[in-house]
Structure 1
Amino acid sequence: MHNPSRAPTASDAVTSATAPTLRCSLTPLPSPRRRADAVLWGEHRGTPARPADGTRPTLFANEPDRPLALNDSWWIIALAGILAAAFVAAAAWISIHVTVDPVLHTAALFVHLASLVLGFGGVLIADYLVLVWVSGRSTLTEAITGAHRLHLPIWTGLAGLVASGALLEPNLASTLTRVKIACVLILTLNGLQALILSRRMARADTGTLAPALTLWGAATASISQICWWSAVWIGFWNAEH
């Protein structure tokens, strides 16, 4: 038995010196070598370096210099507006020729209210971001980027409102209902042209906008708010009467 009060002897020192020591035989891995064909990125992370001649960089040889997008030209916006008008007209036709049972009516009402929260809520947040920029508490880039990210919920909510509204048995003979449909159509066209507006604003290099863009943005926001609130009020009025 080991005596804790016993002083260490020479034999103990020899035993400790000859005790085996565990060593790891792993060798350090060599540092990874940089590939010669690695993509060189520019100043901003995720952005290819711009060539010295000022041309637009491309990641692929067959990539077009200007990809086709919805907000590239007024012709595409006009085509999208025609398709949107056809969608609204189809919803109005369905509301006349389709018989809705109480269960489907309740489900459509739920989707209608959820779409209102999604679409109108996105519009209010986008306008709030612009007001924050106007008050000097954010940059123009931050406001435009935030509003751009809200496009998907806004358009999803607007499409849900039109689709579900067709199953709520609207009275198309009512003047208010026709005004509401007109507001929805104006909202759609106003949102489509706002895509070009946001693209023009994004190209601004400074924190201020040209007077023409400022008036354009103010008119777009005003039309949006007037049509949204009018449609909401008419929907509430029709539900109560």
Structure 2
Amino acid sequence: MLGMLCTAGWLASVLVGHYVDCGPELHRIGLAVHILALVLSFGTILVVDWLGLLWLFGKVEMHASGKLEAAAKPLIWGGLALLLISGALIDPDLTSLVTVVKLVCVLVLMLNGLSIAPAMHLLLALPPSTRFTELTRRLRLRLMIALTVSQTCWWTAVLIGLINSTLRRWTGA
């Protein structure tokens, strides 16, 4: 259900962004909101993933990362919602392959975020002193795949957005 809601929100953002001309004023506002939402959502993801990495190296207890992730959910998902709304205002160029890659990365990172929830519930049910190496091979693999997908999609989307924005500014488009 949540996956369908995320996909519908993503699709609505893409379609509005493609078919509705918001004009230069809304484009500027949308870009400012987009950057702020990126800082909010991706910044929170980086902190949560950093704490998870510290747990992986045995520097913090497992529940520290899980508790932070649970507390950070509104920031992450609120930021993603703002990214979708503001993304519709910044006139995404769907004829550009790199823009399409960026948009697909955003959808994948949202669905990945939803798919990791059961693994996080399993982690929080374990004793706080549980180390990464004590998890089942399957759970370790699931966590590493989710982390890799998340970071790959976030960094790809951010870099493409930066390049697209810079090229628009340089070309006056």
Same fold (TM over 0.5): yes
In the alignment, which residue of structure 1 is the partner of 2:150? 224
Matched residue of 1:138: which SS?
coil
In the alignment, which residue of structure 2 is the partner of 1:111? 33
- Whether 1:125 and 2:47 are equivalent positions in the alignment is yes
In the alignment, which residue of structure 1 is the partner of 2:137? 211
- Whether 1:153 and 2:97 are equivalent positions in the alignment is no
CA-to-partner distance for each residue in 1:207-241, whole Å, 9 max, x for gaps?
13222211111110000000000001111111122
| CA–CA distance in structure 2, aligned partners of residues 170 and 115 of structure 1 | 17
Query: Greater CA radius of gyration, 1 or 2?
Result: 1
CA-to-partner distance for each residue in 1:3-38, whole Å, 9 max, x for gaps?
xxxxxxxxxxxxxxxxxxxxxxxxxxxxxxxxxxxx
Unaligned runs of 5+ in 1: 1-78
| CA–CA distance in structure 1, aligned partners of residues 105 and 65 of structure 2 | 26
TM superposition shift of 1:97: 2.4
TM superposition shift of 1:150: 1.3
Percentage of pairs with the same residue: 36
Match of 1:165 among 59, 84, 87: 87
In the alignment, which residue of structure 2 is the partner of 1:45? none
Matched residue of 1:169: which SS?
coil
| CA–CA distance in structure 2, aligned partners of residues 112 and 144 of structure 1 | 27
What is the Cα-based RMSD across aligned positions, in Å?
Answer: 1.2
Structure with more of its chain in helix, by fraction: 2
- Whether 1:184 and 2:106 are equivalent positions in the alignment is yes
* Equivalent runs, 1:9-20 vs 2, <5 Å: none
TM superposition shift of 1:135: 2.2
| Structure 1 counterpart of 2:74, one-letter code | L
| Structure 2 counterpart of 1:216, one-letter code | R
In the alignment, which residue of structure 2 is the partner of 1:58? none
In the alignment, which residue of structure 2 is the partner of 1:101? 23
TM superposition shift of 1:187: 0.5
In the alignment, which residue of structure 1 is the partner of 2:115? 193
Q: Answer yes or no: is the 8 Å Cα contact 1:126–1:146 preserved in 2.
A: yes
CA-to-partner distance for each residue in 1:93-151, whole Å, 9 max, x for gaps?
11122221222111111110000000100110001111121222211112211122111
- Bigger mean CA offset, 200-209 vs 177-186: 200-209
Q: Answer yes or no: is the 8 Å Cα contact 1:105–1:167 preserved in 2.
A: yes
- Whether 1:144 and 2:66 are equivalent positions in the alignment is yes
CA-to-partner distance for each residue in 1:39-83, whole Å, 9 max, x for gaps?
xxxxxxxxxxxxxxxxxxxxxxxxxxxxxxxxxxxxxxxx21112
User: Normalised by the size of structure 1, how large is the TM-score?
Assistant: 0.65
Q: Answer yes or no: is the 8 Å Cα contact 1:129–1:147 preserved in 2.
A: no
User: Normalised by the size of structure 2, how large is the TM-score?
Assistant: 0.89
| Structure 2 counterpart of 1:174, one-letter code | S
| CA–CA distance in structure 2, aligned partners of residues 211 and 224 of structure 1 | 20
- Whether 1:91 and 2:8 are equivalent positions in the alignment is no
